[in-house]
Amino acid sequence: MANDTVALQPVDAVEVTVLVDNFVDILAAADATTRRPPLPPILVAPEIEHLRAEHGYSLLVTVIRNGLRSSILYDAGLGFDTLTHNLDVLQVRAGDIRAIVLSHGHADHHGGLEGIVQRIGYNGLPLVLHPDAWQQRRVVFPTGTEIAMPPPSRSALEGEGVTIVDERGPTLLLDAAILVSGQTERTTPFERGFPWQERRTDAGWEPDPWIWDDQSIAVDVAGKGLVILSSCSHSGGINVIRHVSRVTGLSKVHAFVGGLHLTGGLFEQIIPATVDELVAIAPDFVIPGHCTGWRATNEIIARMPHAFLQTSVGTTFVFGGA
């Protein structure tokens, strides 16, 4: 992958709206970087619809360049209608979305795909994903408990008129304003994938720890640096950042937004090494969400209090601009 470099074009600003995440706080305060949704006039009433949180993730990414705005969707959450429900509450026009990027094939990231595709109603809408996202998977815990991890339905999505873009390498969207990382190189000694995951093959179930379909997206904000979005970071959050920097040739990281997959006993062991590296990279902002976990989030707050921003469903983070 050494030659998979791209010319990512800088933008004036990027807005990242959290459409689905594990957490919602309607009282969270805004600041210069953060826009929070307005409070409802009354908390309980038949006509009031509230934002939903769930174990899933979805971001609306809007780039602004020369006064023009263009948006893509990064992941679609777990529930069939959670994403579309939250779009309605936020009064976001789904028809303005120009492409969808799937971070990987786990259901908490693709569960709402069919619902949002039906809502967008754009025949030929590009869906960019790594081909391994179609694999049948399961997680087998040491206790013997199994969790099925079904992939998205290719036939259902194609039946809705989606144009599927299977791609292992980097992809550029919106006139080279957004990078889809493609398959992420694994270079750190401590980020070792998900050892309890398996995939179904013609020979039966076999180990599938690396989750090669895990991919991030990135934007270069003029004068600020890279804004890197990673839904689960199964590649490892540090590998994600290093890979994007190598592919783009850009070293300055303005913001990291997304899941770091540091929750649970298996992954909590690598919190110190991950946060040490994150401190060394020194992004201006870190917005951990979804599968980061409370222990890792608390460690980021303790070590990087100046950089931490609190995620919440419905929040828009604005990077760049005036």
Question: Looking at residue 3, what is its pLDDT?
Answer: 59
Rounded Cα distance between 172 and 162, Å, is 18
Helix 271-281 to helix 237-248 angle (10° resolution) is 30
In a domain, 24, yes or no: yes
Report pLDDT for 321.
Answer: 86
pLDDT of residue 5: 84
pLDDT digits (tens, 9 = 90+) for 265-313: 999 999 999 999 999 999 999 999 999 999 999 999 999 999 999 999 9
Contact 191, 213 (CB under 8 A): no
pLDDT score for 46: 84
**Mean pLDDT of the region 41-45:** 88
Is 1 domain-assigned?
A: no
User: Domain range holding 169?
Assistant: 13-320
Distance CA 278, CA 262 (A): 13
**pLDDT of 47 over the 90 cut:** no
Q: To the nearest whole percent, how much of the chain has pLDDT over 90?
A: 93
pLDDT on residue 100: 98
Could you tell me if residue 29 is inside a domain?
Answer: yes
If one compares 133 and 43, the residue with the highest pLDDT of the two is 133
CATH number, position 242: 3.60.15.10
pLDDT band for position 322 (50/70/90)?
Answer: low
Residue 28 has pLDDT above 70, yes or no: yes
Q: How far apart are CA 126 and CA 97, in angstroms?
A: 10
The pLDDT of 98-125, averaged and rounded, is: 96
Confidence class for position 45, pLDDT limits 50, 70, 90: confident
Q: Is the predicted pLDDT of residue 13 greater than 70, yes or no?
A: yes
Decide if 213 is inside a domain.
yes
The per-residue pLDDT for 1 is 45
Confirm whether pTM is higher than 0.95: yes
Sign of CA dihedral 310, 312, 315, 316: positive
**Domain tally, the chain:** 1
Residue 219's pLDDT is what? 98
CA angle 304, 185, 234 (to 5 degrees): 60
pLDDT of residue 104 exceeding 90: yes
Query: Under 8 Å CB-to-CB from 42, ≥6 apart: which residues?
Result: 48
Q: Is residue 170 part of a domain?
A: yes
Mean pLDDT estimate for the chain? 96
Residue 124 maps to a domain: yes
155 domain residue, yes or no: yes
Residue 167 belongs to some domain of the structure: yes
171-225 pLDDT, tens digit each: 999 999 999 999 999 999 999 999 999 999 999 999 999 999 999 999 999 999 9
